[in-house]
């Protein structure tokens, strides 16, 4: 691509991209998710995964967990822009590699095949403590909680054992120890 | 049992408690109950616009010229979509607006009913916040909250969408007392330590500059006074963005003029070469910074802003100070006076070389133009307008384009809230309705819309509003028959291919003025200009002034594409050596 010489349209230097987990506490009211997601799309930020649910029914607070990538400057902007939204109570953010934080994603996996295939499949997922939610002569539905990349790998491994359908959630996060998010 | 009020009554009760005096609006099916209630509230006057966009810009002009929030009332569907441009404009320029829109009855929402649209969905990205009121019991609380959100922190537009059935339903109303407390999102977050650090940096600086913006104006008239004091006790040079004009006297010796794409040579060079940049209430907009990588490479940067998300958004700064401009400056002045009473004296020597350098840049006289005795040069027209109106406390609005930049360059403002222009969004058609709003707020003052003939045609219908309410606004059109800024870029960047930038079949503006029932004046030569301008000022009616100017004049100085920020195009003489080459054409 020809580098533009324009004083006004040069995008400038690209910084290094980091993956962050942003946790947002919001009033659980109509349109609040649209506000948060609209902020991301409107300003060109990236959403890798998203998990939302009410966590405090009494006060009507929902917790949104967003996995996003961006330069440090963009991550800072995301936090500050989120903080400006009226229904947002607080915003926490940390790097994906942070040792003090637990991340988990859940996946439901449906496998179709004979008994031996299914047993082999169960063996493959054993270290993720699979829970069998449904079982028939021909099929099994497993529940797995693990990291995103672990589930990615698992899906690859399970292909040959009759994996026919996958349903995944976004990541949720929690601090280790007695600390809570500030 | 306390009295029950209808939703429509509650709307007015809230506005009375918020001391609203004027509503700019346009009726329609979904707001009829509110319009029906209007007659019972004498303290609130409704100004009927001719288009909802006009109502929105008028409310903006009102808000910017008097510091109070502008109130807009529109109907559902097209009423709401028409006001979107004005809301976006207010959002970009941080203008407090409260827009109340009607909505189809709650049971029809989602059925594609007549004049239904997803108003809160459409306006979500162009308001600070919006609400759809689904229960009449929430109405009063919501409207008061709306006023609070619009006016606190960094101001901006909000919208309250009220379905028609809610306007009929009844609820209690308890009188509202304005709380002094600001909402949690707008608190000052700076400490004394930040101020001390800033003073230390100021003491060390050899090439300092103040770079001020609309935040100073939004912080209130006191902020402008404090800014003047700060500049005078420090002896530092000061430059201003388009929106900040008027917060510091335009004819003061310490003022370097506006900066940015069409800013002065001295202001842009000083920004480029400074060693300390103190940004007060500006936001490092791309029209200011140019190429970010080469923006002011040698300076330490301080950013004072009420909005934490403005900090480090475009330019990394060394010292962020999040707070209200007025409060930061007053603490700054107090601390300087207490601890460094001789700041100015000790500082003078420090920065004397800097002033010498600025003097050299100044001597280039970058706003100069080649005048003519045959055709009216647009810059000359604005200079004459300034000379003939400067003693009158004049309010100026503009449209968007060359005339806007010439106005910013050649009209010297010395008070805040006198300059209303669409900077962030760049909305052609802003100036005429904004002038309507300004004149409503200041019925006895001279209000001039410096316009281009293309822009003004976008909202020309609002002349009818001006005539209806006897608002003697003056529409000063610099008529060059081109969309001047588009033509200029086509000349400089697109091989003079003037694609669609010439307006054939323009109306006769003098006759148009007469058709609207106002006064039309035309000036064709420089000789008659003064007398005609005087005539315009003296008429106590709305005027459309058709000033026929040079058709091919360009707006200089200009930061050209493909050049660093400190190399500007200066004017017709300088242009030959600074041809913009092929790859620089992607100027945006």
Predicted local distance difference test score (pLDDT) of residue B292: 83
Cβ <8 Å between B291 and A12: yes
In this predicted structure, which of B80-84, B219-223, B338-342 has the lowest mean pLDDT?
B338-342
**Residue B584 pLDDT exceeds 50:** no
Mean pLDDT of B542-556: 97
DSSP B22-88: EEEE---GGGHHHHHHGGG-TT-EEEE-SSHHHHHHHHHHHHHHHSSPEEEEE-STHHHHHTHHHHH
- In the CATH hierarchy, which fold is given to the domain comprising B378-548? Rossmann fold (3.40.50)
The sign of the torsion formed by the CA atoms of B282, B285, B288, B292 equals positive
**Distances, alpha carbon B567 to alpha carbons A7, B256, B292, B559, in Å:** 11, 17, 15, 7
Residue ranges of domains in chain A:
18-95, 101-174
Greater confidence, A5 or B489?
B489
pLDDT band (50, 70, 90) for residue B340: confident
The answer to whether residues A77 and B309 touch, using CB atoms and an 8 Å cutoff, is yes
pLDDT band (50, 70, 90) for residue A5: very low
Cβ <8 Å between B261 and A86: no
Question: What average pLDDT does chain A have?
Answer: 90
Token pair 């970010």 is at which residue? B292
pTM above 0.90, yes or no: yes
Mean pLDDT of A75-86: 95
- Residue A117 region, left (φ>0) first, then alpha (ψ -120 to 50), else beta? alpha
Q: What percent of chain B lies above the pLDDT cut of 90?
A: 87
Cβ <8 Å between B586 and A9: yes
Greater confidence, B184 or B326?
B326
Q: Number of helices (H) and strands (E) in chain A: give both, helices first.
A: 4, 9
Among A115-119, A166-170, B175-179, the range with the most confident prediction by mean pLDDT is A166-170
Q: What percent of chain B lies above the pLDDT cut of 70?
A: 94
Predicted local distance difference test score (pLDDT) of residue A15: 78
pLDDT tens-place string over residues B385-401 = 999 999 999 999 999 99
Mean pLDDT of B249-265: 95
Surface of A (6-25) touching B: CB under 8 A: 6-10, 12-13
Residue A108: how many other CB atoms lie within 10 Å: 16
Predicted local distance difference test score (pLDDT) of residue B325: 96
In this predicted structure, which of A32-46, B132-146, B168-182 has the lowest mean pLDDT?
B168-182
**Domain A101-174 annotated CATH 3.90.1150.10:** no
**Distances, alpha carbon B462 to alpha carbons B53, B87, B428, B475, B542, in Å:** 10, 18, 14, 11, 11
pLDDT band (50, 70, 90) for residue A28: very high
Lookup: tokens for B439: 């004149």
Of B125, B308, B562, the CB nearest to A6: B562
**How far is it, in rounded angstroms, from Cα B234 to Cα B254?**
11
- On chain B, the residues whose CB falls within 8 A of the CB of A38 are 124-125
pLDDT tens-place string over residues B454-483 = 999 999 999 999 999 999 999 999 999 999
Residues 6+ apart with CB under 8 A from B184: none
The answer to whether residues A121 and A162 touch, using CB atoms and an 8 Å cutoff, is yes
Cβ <8 Å between B562 and A3: no
Question: What average pLDDT does chain B have?
Answer: 93
Predicted local distance difference test score (pLDDT) of residue B586: 47
Within an 8 Å CB–CB cutoff, is residue A73 touching chain B?
yes
ipTM entry: 0.89
**Residue B184 pLDDT exceeds 70:** no
Mean pLDDT of B169-184: 74
Pick among A1, A3, A4, A8 to test the B interface (most B CBs inside 10 A): A8
**How far is it, in rounded angstroms, from Cα B458 to Cα B496?**
25
Greater confidence, A16 or A3?
A16
**Residue B290 pLDDT exceeds 90:** no
State the span(s) of chain B assigned CATH 3.40.50.1220.
Answer: 188-362
Predicted local distance difference test score (pLDDT) of residue A7: 46
pLDDT tens-place string over residues A107-144 = 999 999 998 988 899 999 998 999 999 999 999 999 99
In this predicted structure, which of A35-39, A121-125, B131-135 has the lowest mean pLDDT?
A121-125
**Residue A56 pLDDT exceeds 80:** yes
Cβ <8 Å between B308 and A6: no
CATH label, B4-185, candidates 3.40.630.30, 1.10.357.10, 3.40.50.970, 3.40.50.620 = 3.40.50.970
**How far is it, in rounded angstroms, from Cα B7 to Cα B13?**
10
- On chain B, the residues whose CB falls within 8 A of the CB of A6 are 291, 561-562, 583-588
Residues 6+ apart with CB under 8 A from A126: none
Residues 6+ apart with CB under 8 A from B345: none
Under CATH, domain B188-362 is a member of which superfamily? TPP-binding domain (3.40.50.1220)
Predicted local distance difference test score (pLDDT) of residue A9: 56
State the span(s) of chain B assigned CATH 3.40.50.970.
Answer: 4-185, 378-548
Mean pLDDT of A98-108: 92
Catalytic site positions of B: 52, 114-115, 164, 485
Predicted local distance difference test score (pLDDT) of residue B181: 54
Predicted local distance difference test score (pLDDT) of residue B2: 81
**Same fold: A18-95 with A101-174:** yes
Residues 6+ apart with CB under 8 A from A145: A104, A105, A106, A107, A128, A129
Mean pLDDT of B347-376: 93
Cβ <8 Å between B311 and A80: yes
**Residue A181 pLDDT exceeds 80:** no
Residue closest to B98 by CA, chosen among B53, B66, B120, B129: B129
- In the CATH hierarchy, which fold is given to the domain comprising A18-95? Alpha-Beta Plaits (3.30.70)
Predicted local distance difference test score (pLDDT) of residue B239: 98
Alpha helices (H) in B152-297, listed in sequence order: 164-168, 192-204, 214-218, 221-234, 265-273, 286-289
pLDDT tens-place string over residues B397-433 = 999 999 999 999 999 999 999 999 999 999 999 999 9
Chain A, nearest residue to B123 by Cα: A35
pLDDT band (50, 70, 90) for residue B574: low
The answer to whether residues B424 and B89 touch, using CB atoms and an 8 Å cutoff, is yes
Chain A, nearest residue to B120 by Cα: A31
The answer to whether residues B402 and B239 touch, using CB atoms and an 8 Å cutoff, is no
**Residue A13 pLDDT exceeds 80:** no
Predicted local distance difference test score (pLDDT) of residue B581: 47
The answer to whether residues A33 and A151 touch, using CB atoms and an 8 Å cutoff, is no
**Residue B547 pLDDT exceeds 50:** yes
Q: Give the CB-side neighbour count of residue B430, counting CA atoms within 13 A.
A: 29
Within an 8 Å CB–CB cutoff, is residue A44 touching chain B?
no
């Amino acid at each position: 691509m020809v580098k533009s010489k324009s004083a006004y349209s040069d995008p400038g230097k690209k910084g290094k991209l980091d993956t962050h987990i942003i946790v947002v506490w919001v009033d659980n009211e109509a349109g609040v998710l649209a506000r948060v997601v609209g902020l991301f799309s409107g300003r060109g930020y990236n959403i890798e995964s998203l998990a939302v649910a009410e966590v405090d029914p009494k006060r009507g607070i929902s917790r949104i967990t967003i996995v996003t990538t961006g330069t440090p400057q963009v991550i800072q902007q995301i936090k500050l822009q989120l903080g400006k939204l009226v229904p947002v109570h607080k915003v926490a953010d940390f790097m994906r590699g942070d040792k003090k934080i637990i991340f988990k994603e859940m996946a439901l996996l449906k496998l179709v095949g004979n008994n031996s295939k299914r047993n082999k499949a169960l063996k493959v997922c054993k270290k993720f403590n699979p829970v069998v939610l449904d079982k028939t002569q021909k099929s099994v539905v497993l529940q797995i909680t693990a990291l995103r990349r672990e589930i990615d790998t698992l899906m690859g491994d399970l292909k040959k054992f009759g994996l026919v359908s996958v349903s995944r959630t976004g990541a949720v996060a929690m601090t280790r120890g007695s600390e809570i998010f500030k | 049992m306390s009295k029950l009020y209808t939703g429509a009554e509650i709307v007015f009760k809230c506005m009375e408690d918020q001391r609203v005096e004027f509503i700019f609006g346009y009726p329609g099916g979904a707001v009829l109950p509110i319009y029906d209630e209007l007659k019972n509230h004498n303290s609130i006057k409704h100004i009927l616009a001719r288009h909802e966009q006009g109502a929105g810009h008028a409310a903006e002009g009102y808000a910017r010229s008097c510091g109070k929030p502008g109130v807009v009332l529109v109907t559902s569907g097209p009423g709401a979509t028409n006001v979107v441009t004005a809301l976006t404009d207010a959002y970009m320029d941080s203008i407090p607006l409260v827009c109340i829109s009607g909505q189809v009855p709650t049971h029809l929402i989602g059925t594609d009913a007549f004049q239904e649209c997803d108003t809160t969905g459409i306006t979500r990205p162009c308001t600070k916040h919006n609400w759809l009121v689904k229960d009449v019991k929430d109405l009063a609380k919501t409207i008061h909250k709306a006023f609070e959100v619009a006016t606190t922190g960094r101001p901006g537009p909000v919208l309250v969408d009220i379905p028609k059935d809610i306007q009929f339903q009844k609820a209690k109303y308890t009188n509202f007392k304005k709380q002094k407390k600001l909402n949690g999102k707008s608190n000052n977050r700076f400490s004394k330590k930040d101020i001390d650090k800033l003073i230390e940096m100021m003491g060390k600086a050899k090439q300092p500059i103040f770079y001020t913006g609309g935040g100073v104006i939004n912080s209130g008239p006191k902020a402008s006074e404090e800014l003047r004091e700060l500049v005078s006790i420090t002896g530092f040079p000061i430059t201003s963005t388009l929106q900040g004009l008027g917060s510091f006297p335009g004819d003061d010796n310490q003022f370097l003029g506006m900066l940015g794409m069409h800013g002065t040579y001295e202001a842009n060079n000083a920004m480029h070469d400074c060693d300390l940049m103190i940004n007060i209430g500006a936001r490092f907009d791309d029209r200011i910074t140019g190429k970010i990588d080469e923006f002011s490479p040698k300076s330490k940067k301080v950013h004072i802003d009420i909005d934490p998300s403005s900090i480090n958004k475009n330019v990394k700064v060394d010292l962020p100070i999040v707070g209200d401009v007025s409060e930061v400056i007053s603490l700054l002045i107090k601390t300087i006076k207490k601890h460094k009473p001789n700041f100015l004296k000790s500082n003078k020597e420090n920065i004397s070389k800097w002033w010498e350098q600025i003097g050299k840049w100044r001597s280039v006289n970058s706003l100069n133009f080649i005048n003519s005795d045959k055709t009216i040069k647009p810059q000359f027209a604005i200079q004459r307008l300034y000379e003939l109106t400067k003693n009158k406390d004049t309010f100026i609005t503009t449209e968007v384009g060359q005339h806007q930049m010439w106005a910013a360059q050649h009209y010297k403002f010395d008070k805040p809230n006198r300059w209303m222009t669409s900077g962030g969004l760049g909305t052609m058609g802003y100036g005429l309705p904004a002038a309507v709003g300004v004149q409503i707020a200041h019925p006895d003052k001279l209000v001039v819309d410096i316009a281009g003939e293309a822009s003004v045609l976008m909202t020309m219908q609002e002349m009818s509003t001006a005539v209806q309410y006897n608002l003697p606004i003056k529409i000063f059109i610099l008529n060059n028959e081109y969309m001047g800024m588009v033509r200029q870029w086509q000349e400089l960047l697109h091989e003079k291919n003037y694609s669609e930038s010439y307006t054939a079949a323009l109306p006769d503006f003098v006759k148009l003025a007469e058709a609207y029932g106002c006064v039309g004046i035309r000036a064709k030569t420089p000789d008659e200009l003064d007398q005609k301008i005087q005539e315009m000022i003296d008429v106590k009616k709305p005027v459309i002034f058709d000033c026929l100017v040079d058709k091919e004049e360009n707006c200089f100085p200009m930061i050209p594409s493909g050049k660093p920020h400190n190399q500007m195009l200066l004017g017709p003489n300088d242009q030959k050596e600074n041809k913009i080459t092929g790859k620089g054409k992607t100027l945006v």
